[in-house]
């Protein structure tokens, strides 16, 4: 009897152990949901999918579900899930005020412990702490940057030559002269997809940076000044000078960003004010799928404004990062670290889509002369300003987009546009 009881006890213990192992295995099965805005060119989403497959092969208990969304569709869908309190584990973010809003609402996961572990190995791997800090709020980090550059003017060297333009403009007056020369040659000077509003706001923000410098924005944001101050009104006046020349393609107010990129990629328009991702999007939207012939695309910094308080090195810019949803698992954060290893950053650079890496050991892989110029502009910037529509709280950001749209449409004066932004800021910040 004692032997039978002992064997029965052993059987029960063994069964319980097996049940326990089964429970642990079930708990260890983890799903990571990752939303990107990778749509063009196809090599970009393909690499993201490959990274997910590689990570899953190394971690069989992890399933990574990757969703690629067009920019505007992503923003709409993200707003919906954020309102429901159920964000994806990893998702596209530009940092700044929009992301800080999510953090304040408790919708993001603090990844500071992972960033600072092992003496801060992951945190210290980022070469531009200014970019990393855009993903921090009240001393805690909620995401990381993986592609960070500068907005500038991409131009078609062949069309410039056809119009007899020998040198790129360095001042606003010179820029307006170049626009007129292109028009006189029967060439569309500038491609713009204003339907989505954010491409157009680059023009007004850069002019505000050139007119008022860092002090103008910081004073308005800290409420020592206002967004109705002279530099912001002047930005509208300078933009009106450009609009009056009718430099954009026909129907630009109803065109999307992809439409404008196609004009550049097809060699129809001469210039586009856009970030470091522009070459890849131009290629992805071109009829040939190859974009402009080699040597036909150039880049130059946004021109200076005579008498402006801004410095020539001041840059409007930013890039892509990945924020972490509040319910993200440790595996999701570990996968994020995998995405931002130097080796994988180099793989993104080698796609030739305009990626400018953010971690040590990867910047050397940028060999394209144009992107090297963008990288230098980023690294040498005395004042670096993230896009207003991402840095500012959402309500003010929307006011900026709407006010600048009013300038393009002609329904607002420069003073009215600046005041509309200030009205939103006074409500949100005072």
The domains of the chain, with CATH numbers, are: 31-149+318-372 (3.40.190.10), 152-316+387-429 (3.40.190.10)
What separation in angstroms does the CA of 305 have from each of 266, 302, 314, 376?
31, 10, 12, 21
Question: Among the residues of 85-193, which ranges form H helices?
Answer: 96-104, 112-124, 129-133, 157-162, 172-184
Q: Identify the pLDDT of residue 130.
A: 82
Q: Identify the pLDDT of residue 299.
A: 97
CA distance 209 to 304: 10
Phi–psi pair at 331, nearest 5 degrees: -65, -35
- The set of residues, in sequence order, having a beta carbon less than 8 Å from that of 387 and lying 6+ positions away, is 94, 96, 151, 198, 201, 202, 205, 316, 317, 318
Q: Which stretch of 38-42, 53-57, 288-292, 366-370 has the lowest confidence by average pLDDT?
A: 38-42
Question: Among the residues of 129-171, which ranges form H helices?
Answer: 129-133, 157-162
pLDDT confidence tier of residue 26, bands split at 50, 70 and 90: very low
Any idea what DSSP says for residue 392? S
Radius of gyration of the chain from its Cα atoms, rounded to whole angstroms: 25
Q: Give percent above pLDDT 90 in the chain.
A: 88
Q: Report whether 183 contacts 244 (CB < 8 A).
A: no
Nearest residue to 350 (alpha-carbon basis) of 364, 371, 366, 363:
366
Q: Report whether 384 contacts 398 (CB < 8 A).
A: no
Q: Identify the pLDDT of residue 20.
A: 40
- The set of residues, in sequence order, having a beta carbon less than 8 Å from that of 134 and lying 6+ positions away, is 94, 95, 96, 99, 145, 318, 321, 386, 391
Q: Report whether 381 contacts 310 (CB < 8 A).
A: no
CA distance 340 to 387: 23
What separation in angstroms does the CA of 190 have from each of 71, 234, 262, 314?
22, 21, 12, 22
Nearest residue to 175 (alpha-carbon basis) of 97, 238, 255:
238
**Mean pLDDT computed over 361-369:** 93
Q: Identify the pLDDT of residue 23.
A: 38
pLDDT confidence tier of residue 252, bands split at 50, 70 and 90: very high
Question: Among the residues of 191-296, which ranges form H helices?
Answer: 198-222, 230-244, 257-265, 278-285
Average pLDDT across the chain, whole number? 93
pLDDT confidence tier of residue 173, bands split at 50, 70 and 90: very high
**Mean pLDDT computed over 249-254:** 98
Any idea what DSSP says for residue 253? G
pLDDT confidence tier of residue 21, bands split at 50, 70 and 90: very low
Nearest residue to 207 (alpha-carbon basis) of 217, 197, 198:
217
Q: Identify the pLDDT of residue 9.
A: 44
Phi–psi pair at 143, nearest 5 degrees: 180, 180
CA distance 272 to 139: 37
Q: How far is CA 131 from the centre of its chain?
A: 11
pLDDT confidence tier of residue 230, bands split at 50, 70 and 90: very high
**Mean pLDDT computed over 274-298:** 94
CA distance 46 to 211: 42
Among left, alpha and beta (phi > 0; psi -120 to 50; other), residue 355 is beta
Strands 297-300 and 188-190, bridge-based pairing: unpaired
């Amino acid at each position: 009897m004692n032997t039978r009881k002992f064997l029965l006890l052993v059987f029960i213990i063994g069964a319980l152990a097996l049940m326990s192992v089964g429970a642990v295995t079930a708990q260890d099965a983890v799903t990571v949901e990752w939303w990107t805005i990778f749509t063009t060119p196809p090599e970009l989403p393909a690499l993201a999918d490959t990274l997910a497959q590689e990570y899953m092969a190394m971690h069989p208990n992890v399933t990574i579900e990757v969703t690629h969304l067009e920019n505007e569709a992503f923003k709409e869908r993200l707003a919906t899930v954020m309102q429901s309190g159920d964000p994806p584990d990893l998702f596209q973010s530009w940092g700044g005020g929009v992301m800080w809003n999510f953090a304040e609402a408790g919708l993001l996961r603090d990844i500071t412990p992972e960033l600072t572990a092992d003496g801060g190995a992951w945190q210290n791997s980022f070469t531009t702490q200014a970019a990393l800090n855009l993903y921090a709020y009240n001393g805690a980090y909620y995401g990381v940057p993986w592609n960070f550059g500068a907005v500038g003017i991409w131009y078609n060297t062949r069309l410039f030559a056809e119009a007899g333009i020998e040198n790129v403009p360095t001042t606003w007056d010179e820029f307006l002269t170049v626009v007129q020369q292109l028009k006189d040659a029967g060439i569309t000077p500038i491609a713009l997809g204003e339907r989505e509003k954010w491409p157009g706001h680059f023009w007004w923000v850069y002019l505000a940076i050139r007119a008022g410098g860092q002090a103008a924005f910081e004073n308005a944001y800290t409420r020592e000044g206002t967004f109705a101050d002279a530099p912001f009104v002047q930005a509208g006046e300078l933009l009106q000078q450009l609009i009056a020349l009718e430099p954009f393609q026909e129907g630009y107010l109803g065109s999307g960003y992809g439409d404008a990129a196609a004009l550049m990629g097809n060699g129809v328009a001469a210039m586009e004010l856009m970030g470091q991702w522009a070459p890849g999007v131009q290629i992805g939207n071109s009829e040939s799928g190859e974009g402009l012939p080699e040597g036909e695309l150039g880049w130059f910094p946004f021109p200076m404004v005579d008498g402006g308080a801004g410095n020539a090195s001041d840059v409007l810019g930013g890039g892509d990062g990945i924020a972490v949803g509040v319910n993200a698992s440790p595996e999701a954060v570990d996968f994020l670290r995998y995405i931002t290893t130097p080796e994988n950053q180099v793989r993104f650079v080698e796609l030739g889509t305009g990626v400018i890496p953010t971690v040590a050991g990867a910047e050397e892989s940028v060999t394209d002369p144009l992107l090297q110029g963008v990288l230098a502009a980023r690294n040498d910037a005395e004042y670096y300003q993230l896009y207003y529509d991402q840095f500012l709280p959402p309500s003010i950001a929307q006011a900026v987009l709407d006010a600048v749209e009013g300038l393009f449409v002609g329904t607002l004066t420069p003073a009215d546009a600046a005041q509309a932004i200030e009205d939103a800021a006074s409500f949100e910040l005072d």
